[in-house]
Structure 1
Amino acid sequence: MSTTTLDRVIGTARRSPTFAVGFGVIMVFAFLAAFADVIAPLPPTLSHPYDTLRPPGTGAFILGTDGNGMDVLSRVIHGARYAFGIALPAGAIMAVVGIPLGLIAGWRGGWVDEVLLRVLDVLRAFPTIILALAIVAATGQGFLNVILVVGFLDSPIFARIVRAEVLALRNATFVRAAVAAGNPEWRVLLVHILPNAILGATAQLPLRMAWAVRISATLAFIGIGVQAPAPEWGAMIRQGAEYVISGEWWVALFPGLALIALVLGLNLTGDGLSDLLDPKRRATGK
């Protein structure tokens, strides 16, 4: 890492410690997800029939085993792949669907804006978890279905954020100058408005990815999303919940802690980005 890059990293951490901590947590889980096959001591679905519900610290099982004799540590590590495997594509769908809709609604105005807003309002009127549960139950419990449902359900938030920014920018001096200079509409939107209107959506993305991780875990916990023996944290918590009463707390605790840590990291990153991208804070250098 060059001195200039290191200085920028240190400067960013000083301006927003919240972002630095959150981003650090995300990087830890990203590392676990990328190198899970190397880091995990055992295959995540390898069953040891004679070692079921072993407590943490028993032999080679650092975090114990579950009811099927599978290593909890290995499953928690591999669970990071499912978390990122849902959060990243779902976040991309939210942005790809919501941002263009917000651009069009804010720029066109009139009946186009009204129609798009009413459609988005209908989508947001239903309780999200119930709507997601119903759609996944109807379309199937596949991994791809969960990603698509979570991504599309949250796209209205991005559309509204971008629309509000476009409404504030479309009468700005630099936009009027671009139109007067003869720039086509698509160029005005993509070159002059989008880079300024996307800042709020950028800060919102980690927060909505955290929401995607929570929703996917919730769906798995209630038996609708990704199912066991896949090492998905929500499914692991569901499996371990039945053992808590009998004293085998570790089966549900460790995937639950991993879920909380990643969601917290994403939320801190989003909050930190809001600070870093705030024009007032950037202008004052605070």
Structure 2
Amino acid sequence: MTPAETPHTDLSATSDLGRFLVRRPAALIGLTLLVLQILAIIFAPVLSTHDPMQANALRSLQPPSWENWLGTDVSGMDIYSRIIYATRINLLISVTAVGAAFIVGVPIGLLVGYYRGWASNLTMRVFDFVQSFPVFVMGMALVSVMGQEIWNVAIALGVLFTPVFARLIRAETLSLRERSFIAAAKCSGATDIKILFRHILPNALSPAIVQISISIGMAILLTAGLSFIGAGVRMPTPEWGLMVSTGSQQMILGIWWVSFFPGLAIILSVLSFALIADAARDFIDPRRAR
């Protein structure tokens, strides 16, 4: 490809993506929700109206008003500001965990799929052991052992998601290693490293790329769930699941806003990544018409 052709190719890819989004409103909604979350992460100090960890006993459980747009919780902390800052915490944990699982799981899946032997079998049995536990229970156990810190929650979730990416890449590698172009590469004298990372990996990544968005949504739910039961992030750190837990005891008294708005934030965040994952699958799949 000559340098003169590169801008044209980039423009064509951009216009192709634009047409794809126009034809799929759900993908556009998911992308819009993701952009809003990114803006909340970057501009949290500007968008918030109060200190998210400043308690005020005199304004405990105040309903939504001009001063506190989404009301206050039992400690008098502003719910709107805490939701904005919680976006940082929830997405930091989720993206870090899934990113680490992707970085670790993809090479492992590539190796155990290409090489056969006792090491590959042992690796898959370890993954079977990890995945044999209910995800939520395993997450609780790991966080309990390591401690209720933000990075410990991320590490625990990373451990849980690593087998997912490893299995996806392994399945693709097992299929690709028998293809004729791999045999041709071997005949031409290509080393195993070159075959793995130049020929197999680029062709095996599509399912894992789609899985990233799905896993981030699942990680957000797990993070919120662990915090809800007291096994995740601790007070007074702003976190959606923890905020829902704090307000759940007042729901029976008609004080709905303490849990409702953080719960809505969880729903919209998970929905955005689900819609993006669905759109990414359609866009990457070469069998689907653009």
- Flag the 1:195–1:15 CA change in 2: closer, same or farther, 3 A: farther
Equivalent of 2:178 in 171, 176, 179: 171
Deviation of 1:109 after TM superposition, in Å, equals: 2.0
SS at match of 2:59: coil
Equivalent of 1:215 in 222, 230, 238: 222
The residue aligned with 1:54 is 62
The residue aligned with 2:3 is none
Q: How does 1:185-264 map to 2 (within 5 A)?
A: 185-264=192-271
Deviation >4 Å, runs of 4+? 2-6
Question: Aligned equivalents of 1:56 and 1:5: distance in 2?
Answer: 45
The residue aligned with 2:167 is 160
Equivalent of 2:152 in 115, 121, 145: 145
Letter in 1 for 2:148: Q
**C-alpha RMSD of matched pairs (Å):** 1.6
Deviation of 1:5 after TM superposition, in Å, equals: 7.4
Partners of 1:95 and 1:155 within 8 A in 2: yes
Asked if 1:272 corresponds to 2:275, the answer is: no
Deviation of 1:133 after TM superposition, in Å, equals: 0.5
Partners of 1:146 and 1:216 within 8 A in 2: yes
Unaligned 5+ segments in structure 2 are: 1-9
Question: Aligned equivalents of 1:168 and 1:227: distance in 2?
Answer: 45
SS at match of 1:66: coil
TM-score (norm 1): 0.94
Letter in 2 for 1:129: F
Paired residues in the alignment total 281
TM-score (norm 2): 0.92
Question: Aligned equivalents of 1:27 and 1:174: distance in 2?
Answer: 40
Q: Alpha-carbon deviations, 1:218-277, whole Å to 9, x = none?
A: 110000100111110011001010111111110010000000100011111111111111
Question: Aligned equivalents of 1:197 and 1:131: distance in 2?
Answer: 28
SS at match of 1:61: coil
Q: Alpha-carbon deviations, 1:30-65, whole Å to 9, x = none?
A: 1111111111111111222211111012x4111111
The residue aligned with 1:10 is 18
The residue aligned with 1:181 is 188
Deviation of 1:19 after TM superposition, in Å, equals: 2.8
Question: Aligned equivalents of 1:245 and 1:167: distance in 2?
Answer: 54
Partners of 1:12 and 1:20 within 8 A in 2: no
Question: Aligned equivalents of 2:128 and 2:274: distance in 1?
Answer: 25
- Flag the 1:7–1:278 CA change in 2: closer, same or farther, 3 A: closer
Q: How does 1:111-122 map to 2 (within 5 A)?
A: 111-122=118-129
The residue aligned with 1:30 is 38
Question: Aligned equivalents of 2:118 and 2:286: distance in 1?
Answer: 32
SS at match of 1:231: coil
- Flag the 1:6–1:164 CA change in 2: closer, same or farther, 3 A: closer
Question: Aligned equivalents of 2:11 and 2:202: distance in 1?
Answer: 28
Question: Aligned equivalents of 1:75 and 1:168: distance in 2?
Answer: 47
- Flag the 1:6–1:167 CA change in 2: closer, same or farther, 3 A: closer
- Flag the 1:208–1:221 CA change in 2: closer, same or farther, 3 A: same
Unaligned 5+ segments in structure 1 are: none
Question: Aligned equivalents of 1:118 and 1:153: distance in 2?
Answer: 14
Question: Aligned equivalents of 1:158 and 1:4: distance in 2?
Answer: 31
Asked if 1:90 corresponds to 2:97, the answer is: yes
Q: Alpha-carbon deviations, 1:169-209, whole Å to 9, x = none?
A: 11212222222221211111111110110110000111011
Deviation of 1:126 after TM superposition, in Å, equals: 0.7
The residue aligned with 2:7 is none
Letter in 2 for 1:250: W
Question: Aligned equivalents of 1:192 and 1:51: distance in 2?
Answer: 62
The residue aligned with 2:141 is 134
- Flag the 1:6–1:161 CA change in 2: closer, same or farther, 3 A: closer
